Chains A and B, each alone.
Chain A
Amino acid sequence: MLGWLFASSADRRLLGTDRFRGPTPWVIAIMSFSIMLIAATGLALASTASALNRGIETRYVLQVPNGGQNLGALIAMLKSTPDVSSIEAVPESEMRLTLGQWLGPAADSADLPVPALVNFDARQGTDLGAIQKRAQAIAPGAQVSAHRDRVAPLLRSMHTLQWVAFGLVILLSGAAAAAVVLAARGALDTHRFTIEVMHGIGATDLQLTHLFQRKIALDALAGSLGGAAAGALVLLLLASGASFVGELTGGAALSAVDLLVLLSLPFLLTALATWVARMAVLAALRETL
């Protein structure tokens, strides 16, 4: 099936031995570089969103507006509730530290009514209404809310960005394919005489196509590997930032599967370019006798 890739030296000489003269490898390198970065961004977003979602899926917060006088009773109530676990009260000092970002030194004032927050996990199907009622019996005004409700807009934006990244990868692949079609037509024009001679002595369309296909496949492979290598270098430079995101979300920004996907991109781009070149050359040859 890939026999055409291993042409004899005589077959290689038929189209001349000039390598990387035309713009094709460079255009594909640029496309590959861009695709690599966009795909990595999309995958990192997906991975981050997934980690974030996993982390907050069953996470809830019990909020008491007027401080934590009844905090102990509330925690005891939660502990006694079936299907509730990982109960953590947010220390008041941490709350004041957070509020300090907006209020400045006023956040340390004893007069400031600092709300009390208790985070907890609850299994799916847990009656949160009942928990809220019991909490309100202890501390009026207590509210139970899901973390995911607060993060939902962010997650939606992340999902949208993932699709945008996916769309850009498709668009760039399409642009690379269009560049290959132009390159194939250019190569056919350049070698029109050789094609006529070869046809005249009985060469089949497939024999001729293999020559062009191979040349364009090698150009595309060189271009896409070069572009992907440059993209990988940029990603490595951004790795510290990525690891920060990983820490933030409790997992690596790019998983092993993501890395495999990224690794396969230059080869997929080469396969696409080769297929497009084959179709373009065959279509052009069919217009001759």
Chain B
Amino acid sequence: MDGRGRDEELTAIAEFDSVGLRYGTGAEVLRDLDFRLANGGFYFLTGPSGAGKTSLLKLLYLAQRPTRGRIRLFGEELSEAPRESLPPFRRRIGVVFQDFRLVRHLSAFDNIALPLRVAGATDEEVEGPVREMLAWVGLADRASARPPTLSGGEQQRVAIARAVINRPDLLVADEPTGNVDAEMAKRLLHLFTALNRLGTTVVVATHDVGLISATAGAEMIRLDNGGLADPTGMLRNPPPRLG
């Protein structure tokens, strides 16, 4: 399996077919998920706390396998793919975690550079893009700062820069504006839509109604109690009742 195969034929970047997920022997946290994410689409994932948004994102960024059903990503069936075949697909996915997941002993620069280095870029190749990204998220003067010395908002921006530095095909963000001010939230949304225009499929889990309503053309997936709230199809954005 090749992480970059069959791109041209793709219309859906992700397809969920009767997907269910349970942790251990507990109840299913996700059940009967049937939906597809179009290549190049922009999606908001909403729902109350505990609805299963983070679990669904974990399935999307290949941190978790479904306990039933099938998931196709980038045109490949990956639900039961051997683990050795997953890294090339993961490199095509950028993830912004709710808790940032920055490596504490690495500088902001090194954290942002990680995806490029994992993909085999040399120090020289990494320098320019990382500096550019640092400047873009307003942290040019904090390049050598380590995460514990950064504020929550700054850490969030480093996490976002790390997620988008290698222009992923799929960007998954879990509450990306939870720790940033309104101005930065606007800039982040602008970055996400810019990436989306360049072809990146964006999936953002958020409670931020303002973010949803400010994104023209985005679609919404609403989860409730582990299932799709609108099983007949995805709601269009902006949903009038949420606005």
Which B residues touch A204, using CB under 8 A? 84, 87
Please tell me if B197 contacts chain A, counting CB pairs below 8 Å.
no
Contact present for B65 and A203 (CB under 8 Å):
no
Is there contact, CB below 8 Å, between A198 and B118? Answer: yes
Partner of B117, one of A11, A205, A286: A11
B7-15, B101-109, B202-210, B221-229: which lies at the interface: B101-109
The distance from the CB of A32 to the nearest CB of chain B, in whole angstroms, is 30
Is the Cβ of A207 less than 8 Å from the Cβ of B118?
yes
Which size bracket describes the interface of B in this complex?
20 to 34
B162 CB contacts on chain A under 8 angstroms:
201
The docked-state distance in angstroms from the alpha carbon of A289 to that of B103 is 19
- The CA-CA distance from A286 to B83 in the complex, in Å, is 8
Which residues of chain B are within 8 angstroms of A202 by Cβ–Cβ distance?
A: 87-93, 115, 118-119
Residue of B nearest to A205 (CB): B84
Interface size class of A (residues with CB under 8 A): 20 to 34
A194 to B90, alpha carbons, bound, how many Å? Answer: 16
Assuming the A-B contacts A10-B110, A11-B117, are A201 and B90 also in contact, with contact meaning beta carbons closer than 8 angstroms in the complex? Answer: yes
Give the shortest distance, in Å, between A89 (CB) and chain B (any CB): 79
Say yes or no: A289 contacts B63, CB within 8 Å: yes
* CB closest residue in chain A, given B97: A200
CB closest residue in chain A, given B101: A197
Contact of B103 among A11, A197, A288 (CB under 8 A): A197
With A and B bound together, what is the CA distance between A203 and B93 in angstroms?
A: 12
What chain A residues lie within 8 Å of B83 (beta carbons)? 286, 288-289
A84 to chain B, nearest CB (A): 74
User: Are B101 and A200 in contact, with the CB atoms below 8 A?
Assistant: yes
- Asked if residues A200 and B103 are in contact (CB atoms below 8 Å), the reply is no
Q: Smallest CB-CB separation from A288: which chain B residue?
A: B83
CB pair A201–B103 under 8 Å, yes or no, is: no
A9 to B106, CA, bound (A): 12
* B126 to A, closest residue via Cβ: A10
Query: With an 8 A cutoff between CB atoms, is A8 at the interface?
Result: yes
Determine if A72 is an interface residue (Cβ-Cβ < 8 Å): no
Find B106's partner among A13, A205, A288 (CB 8 Å cutoff). Answer: A13
Q: Digitize B114-132: 1 where CB-to-A-CB distance is under 8 Å, 0 elsewhere.
A: 1101110011001000000
Verify B87–A203 contact, CB threshold 8 A. Answer: yes
Q: Is B113 an interface residue (CB 8 A)?
A: yes
Asked if A182 CB lies within 8 Å of chain B CBs, one says no
Tell me whether A6 is interfacial, beta carbon within 8 Å. no
- Chain B residues within an 8 Å CB radius of A16: 105
* A13–chain B nearest beta-carbon distance, Å: 6
Partner of A200 from the list B90, B113, B126 (CB cut-off 8 Å) is B90
Complex CA gap A11/B121 in Å reads 12
B114 touches A8 (CB 8 A): no
CA distance A204 to B113 in the complex (A): 16
Bitwise, A179-208 to B at CB < 8 A (1) or not (0) is: 000000000000001101111111111010
Quick check: A14 and B63 within 8 Å, CB to CB?
no
Closest to A16 in B: B105
User: For the complex, is B64 an interface residue (Cβ under 8 Å from A)?
Assistant: yes
Residues of B within 8 Å of A200, CB to CB, are 61, 63, 90, 95, 101
What separation, in Å, do the CA atoms of A203 and B84 have in the docked complex? 10
In the bound assembly, the distance between CA atoms of A149 and B85 in angstroms comes to 68
Once the chains are docked, how many angstroms separate the CA of A13 from the CA of B103? Answer: 11
Closest approach, in angstroms, between the C-beta of B130 and any C-beta of chain A?
11
The residues of B that contact A13 with a CB separation of less than 8 Å are 105-106, 110
Q: Is A197 a contact partner of B114 (Cβ separation < 8 A)? A: yes
Contact B65 A289 (CB under 8 A): yes
A196 to B89, CA, bound (A): 16
Contact check, B103 vs A14: say whether CB atoms are below 8 A apart.
yes
Which A residue sits closest to B62, measured CB to CB?
A: A289
- Measured between beta carbons, the chain A residues less than 8 angstroms from B88 are 202
* B86 at the A interface (CB under 8 A): yes
Residues from chain A with Cβ under 8 Å of B64 in the complex: 289
> Least Cβ distance of A200 to chain B in Å?
6
Q: Given the complex, which residues of A lie within 8 Å of B104, measured CB to CB?
A: 193
Knowing A200-B61, A200-B63, A289-B64 touch, does A194 contact B118 (C-beta < 8 A)?
Answer: no
9 pairs, A vs B, C-beta closer than 8 Å: A13-B106, A16-B105, A198-B114, A200-B63, A201-B114, A201-B162, A202-B89, A202-B118, A203-B118
The list of the 3 closest CB pairs from A to B, nearest first, reads: A202-B91, A202-B90, A202-B87
Known: A202-B92, A286-B83. 8 other contacts (CB 8 A): A10-B117, A10-B123, A198-B114, A200-B61, A201-B162, A202-B93, A202-B118, A288-B83
